[in-house]
């Protein structure tokens, strides 16, 4: 998400929260005396000039948006001397599949492999496509239905309809804290990744219904979204993602006579207009660019590669690849970890790189050694952060975003498609071991040749079990590579991308352990839930993580929904692979917090907090968030954590003299979804000058528990 403080212009009407603070008549009188007559006239003149310029831009783009791009005008922006649009689209449609993103030379062979090896993917894709034919969608876990036509501007959750204003005039409206709706659901729908599912379904079945739904929705969207107007032109990242989806959908439907004769003119004109707009609205002006610029640049470069017929394609490709190379270096640690400190965005960014390295390998764009190397390191990071369940552990923000969306029904936190792709592309036997299978997304990207390369590759376990990523401040202690291993994930390093005043997707999770015991989650990160409203800060601040708070002061102060002030810097003081990690940070209360985590044996963990301060008395408050399937109980001063269904049982042993409470919490595994869990909250007050607090977590068998 963009930093809400970055604005092109002020809108004429301030957001609600600022109206009570608008200057009084006295303020203007004082300013007039301060500036004098000449200064006041210049000040007013400047504002009138800016308002006039904005009015002129608005009027021009409204006029421009109402102009229809004729066939003649369109053919003037493509290479070659085409007499008719039909001749151009015939040539474009006749290109082989290997010249597009998905290199499948034989449709029949692809269908055969999909039905034999990936029946669940086929069923899920057809179900998603059938729902799309009925204008039914699932957005962040919520079913959304448009009984008649899809309203591309109506928020599917609240029913609020975003106005179709010129994008500059929408700036203040969209980034106001009091805006009427979350931006994510409407943008998710307008990414059009379900167009890919419709294309896959058509390929699999030859059922014309899927094309008809695609055609109807495409025509509806183009009609309802004039160029540079409305919420669906506002975000350049959304343009980039939508262009990728349109490019893949074009590959599936391009040979249909009905598409070539009826839809293709409007489709290709709109695709060109979107790419042209994206090329001039990249967010490289941000003080600290993040995943947005990567997604925008990737969308532009991929579109240029898939449609080299446009005269501007070479320029688009150069711009897109230049920004991709610069930003992948700037936003990725040498160890391979994404600098945003949000593991959901690690996947998001990696998926933008995949198509480009593939297109380069097939000779459709120049070689990309920097992107290849960066993706290699990013996938290696995924291997060591993988949980015993095969999912990715969660740090920081996440919004369930997918760059391409080749398997939308797949659980968001299953990153093994990156490992399967990487094992085949980079010939890594250990990644094959960690991936477990050559998944459907890898098959779509690498085709039958990729599947055969996977089958020839011998797998072997990773050489290392535990791994430190010091530049990212990430430390993983693991017993083994089995599905029943204990694993600890611990963060003590840089707060977020850009540090002070930035760090858009970081949370106050410094020195907060995420813990799995015997292959199941025990201590969890509370998640993200929403990017809007009061929940935004609730989920990203200190109390929603397994750390401590001193004197009620946050690790960092939220400045906006996507920036922080007074951010801490963690450091690792000691690391013994598989056994011990020690991290430290200076808190805003003036107390230095050192946390040591020891792992003497499987099922046994020890957390030692040491606090140093010059002043005498402080209040310390701990938080431990437990997985939602676990029940926490206090019995005779002891804290038991259990799952009654399978006799899983651990004891949390607190330090002396702390006051314990078990409180109701909330856990959000995915954007827009939450469920109840339990949180152990402990309090202590006293002098902290080298004071140590020891917490122990121990796994018990049912027999050991009964003998207590």
For residue range 129-163, list pLDDT tens digits in order: 999 999 999 999 999 999 999 999 999 889 999 99
The structure tokens listed for 613 are 């301060």
Residue that has been written with the tokens 């692809």 in this structure: 110
Say if residues 510 and 495 touch (Cβ distance below 8 Å). yes
User: Which whole number is the average pLDDT over 75-86?
Assistant: 96
Residue 335 and residue 472 in contact, taking contact as beta carbons nearer than 8 Å: yes
Residue 6: is its pLDDT beyond 50?
A: no
Total H helices, total E strands in the chain: 23, 19
Rounded distance, CA 98 to CA 399, Å? 32
Q: Chain-centre distance of CA 489, in angstroms?
A: 20
Neighbour-count burial of 163, counting CB atoms closer than 10 A to its CB (0-12 exposed, 13-18 middle, 19+ buried): exposed
Determine the pLDDT at residue 197: 99
Confidence of residue 459 (pLDDT cuts 50, 70, 90): very high
Q: Give the per-residue pLDDT at 18.
A: 26
Express each pLDDT in 372-407 by its tens digit.
Answer: 999 999 999 999 999 999 999 999 999 999 999 999
Q: What single string gives the DSSP state of each residue in 656-692?
A: TTPEEEEEEEEE-SSTT--EEEEEEEEEEEEEEEEEE
> What is the DSSP secondary-structure string of 231-264?
HHHH-HHHHHHHHHHHHHHHHHHTT-HHIIIIIH
How far separated are the first and last CA of the chain, in Å rounded?
Answer: 51
Q: Which residues contact 547 (CB under 8 A, 6 or more apart)?
A: 508, 509, 510, 511, 512, 555, 595, 622, 623
Give the span between the Cα atoms of 148 and 356, in whole angstroms. 38
- Quote the pLDDT of residue 180: 81
Tokens matching residue 601 = 């044996």
From the number of C-beta atoms within 10 Å of its C-beta (0-12, 13-18, 19+), residue 391 rates as middle
User: How far apart are alpha carbons 280 and 208 in whole angstroms?
Assistant: 37
- Mean pLDDT across the stretch 611-627? 94
pLDDT, position 30 = 56
Round the average pLDDT of the chain to a whole number and report it: 92
Q: How far is it, in rounded angstroms, from Cα 376 to Cα 418?
A: 10
pLDDT given for residue 383 in this prediction = 98
Which stretch of DSSP H or E encloses residue 455?
helix 440-456
Strand (E) or helix (H) holding 441: helix 440-456
What are the C-alpha distances in Å from 132 to residues 116, 140, 206, 232? 25, 15, 16, 19
pTM of the predicted structure, to 2 decimals = 0.91
- CA distances from residue 496 to 175, 287, 473, 532 in whole angstroms, order as listed: 22, 14, 10, 20
Domains recognised in the chain with CATH numbers: 1-79+102-281 (no CATH), 329-463 (no CATH), 467-706 (2.70.98.70)
User: CA 687, CA 611: separation in Å to the nearest integer?
Assistant: 9
- Burial annotation 526-550 (CB, 10 A radius, 16+ → b, else e): bbbbbbeeebbeebbbbbbbbbbbb
Q: What is the DSSP string of 59-95?
A: HHHHHHHTS---HHHHHTTBSS--S-HHHHHHHHHTS
Residue 148 buriedness (CB in 10 A; 0-12 / 13-18 / 19+): exposed
**Residue 7 reports pLDDT greater than 50:** no
For residue 60, name the pLDDT band (cuts at 50, 70, 90): low
Least confident residue range of 30-39, 168-177, 632-641 = 30-39
How far CA 504 is from CA of 230, 402, 563, 565, in Å, comes to: 25, 19, 5, 11
- What's the mean pLDDT in 407-436? 98
DSSP-assigned letters across all residues of 296-325: HHHHHHHHHHH-TTBTTHHHHHHHHHHHHH
What's the average model confidence in pLDDT over 674-699?
96
What pLDDT shows up at residue 42? 55
Tens-place pLDDT, residues 537-564 = 999 999 999 999 999 999 999 999 999 9
């Amino acid at each position: 998400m963009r930093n809400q403080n970055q604005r092109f212009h002020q809108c004429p009407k301030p957001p609600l929260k600022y109206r009570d603070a608008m200057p009084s008549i006295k303020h203007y009188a004082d300013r007039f005396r301060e500036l004098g007559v000449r200064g006041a006239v210049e000040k007013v003149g400047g504002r009138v000039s800016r308002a006039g310029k904005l009015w002129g831009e608005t009027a021009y783009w409204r006029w421009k948006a109402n102009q229809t791009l004729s066939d003649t005008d369109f053919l003037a922006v493509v290479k070659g001397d085409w007499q008719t649009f039909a001749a151009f689209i015939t040539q474009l449609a006749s290109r082989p599949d290997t010249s597009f993103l998905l290199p499948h030379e034989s449709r029949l062979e692809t269908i055969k492999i999909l039905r034999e090896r990936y029946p669940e993917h086929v069923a899920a894709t057809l179900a998603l496509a059938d729902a799309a034919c009925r204008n039914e969608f699932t957005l962040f876990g919520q079913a959304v239905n448009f009984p008649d036509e899809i309203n591309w501007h109506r928020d599917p959750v609240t029913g609020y309809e975003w106005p179709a204003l010129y994008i500059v005039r929408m700036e203040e409206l969209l980034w106001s804290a009091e805006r009427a709706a979350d931006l994510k659901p409407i943008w998710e729908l307008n990414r059009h990744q379900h167009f890919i599912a419709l294309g896959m379904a058509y390929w699999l079945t030859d059922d014309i219904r899927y094309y008809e739904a695609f055609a109807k929705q495409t025509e509806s969207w183009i009609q309802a979204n004039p160029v540079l107007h409305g919420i669906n032109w506002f975000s350049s990242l959304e343009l980039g993602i939508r262009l990728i989806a349109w490019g893949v959908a074009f590959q599936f439907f391009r040979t249909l006579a009905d598409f070539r004769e009826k839809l293709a003119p409007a489709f290709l004109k709109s695709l060109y207009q979107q790419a042209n707009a994206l090329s001039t609205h990249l967010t490289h002006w941000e003080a600290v660019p993040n995943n947005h610029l990567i997604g925008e640049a990737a969308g532009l470069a991929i579109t240029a590669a898939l449609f080299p017929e446009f005269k501007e394609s070479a320029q688009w490709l150069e711009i897109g690849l230049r920004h991709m190379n610069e930003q992948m270096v700037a936003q990725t640690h040498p160890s391979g970890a994404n600098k945003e400190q949000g593991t959901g965005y690690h996947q998001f960014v990696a998926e933008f790189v995949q198509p480009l390295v593939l297109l380069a390998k097939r000779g459709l764009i120049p070689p990309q050694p920097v992107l290849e190397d960066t993706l290699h390191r990013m996938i290696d990071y995924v291997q060591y952060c993988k949980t015993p369940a095969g999912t990715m552990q969660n740090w920081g923000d996440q919004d369930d975003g997918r760059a391409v969306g080749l398997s939308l029904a797949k659980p968001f936190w299953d990153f093994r498609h990156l490992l399967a792709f990487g094992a085949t592309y980079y010939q890594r036997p250990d990644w094959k071991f960690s991936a477990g299978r050559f998944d459907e997304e890898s098959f779509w990207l690498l085709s039958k040749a990729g599947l055969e390369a996977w089958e020839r590759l011998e797998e072997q376990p990773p050489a290392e079990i535990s791994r430190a990523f010091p530049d990212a401040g990430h430390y993983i202690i693991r017993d083994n590579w089995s599905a029943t291993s204990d694993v600890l994930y611990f963060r003590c390093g840089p707060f977020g991308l850009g540090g002070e005043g930035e760090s858009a997707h970081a949370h106050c999770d410094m020195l907060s352990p995420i813990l799995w015991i015997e292959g199941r989650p025990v201590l969890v990160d509370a998640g993200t839930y929403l990017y809007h409203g009061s929940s935004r800060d609730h989920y990203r601040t200190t109390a929603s993580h397994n750390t401590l708070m001193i004197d009620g002061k946050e690790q960092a102060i939220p400045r906006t929904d996507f920036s922080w002030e007074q951010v801490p810097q963690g450091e690792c003081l000691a690391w013994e692979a598989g056994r011990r990690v020690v991290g430290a940070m200076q808190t805003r209360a003036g107390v230095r917090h050192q946390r040591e985590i020891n792992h003497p044996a499987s099922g046994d963990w020890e957390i030692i907090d040491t606090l140093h301060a010059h002043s005498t008395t402080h209040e310390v408050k701990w938080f431990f968030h437990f997985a939602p399937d676990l029940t926490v109980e206090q019995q005779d001063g002891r804290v038991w954590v259990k799952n009654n269904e399978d006799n899983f049982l651990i004891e949390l042993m607190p330090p002396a003299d702390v006051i314990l409470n078990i409180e109701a919490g909330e856990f959000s595994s995915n954007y827009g979804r939450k469920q109840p869990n339990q949180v152990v909250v402990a309090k202590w007050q006293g002098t902290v000058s080298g004071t140590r607090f020891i917490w122990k977590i121990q796994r018990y068998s049912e027999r050991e528990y009964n003998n207590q």
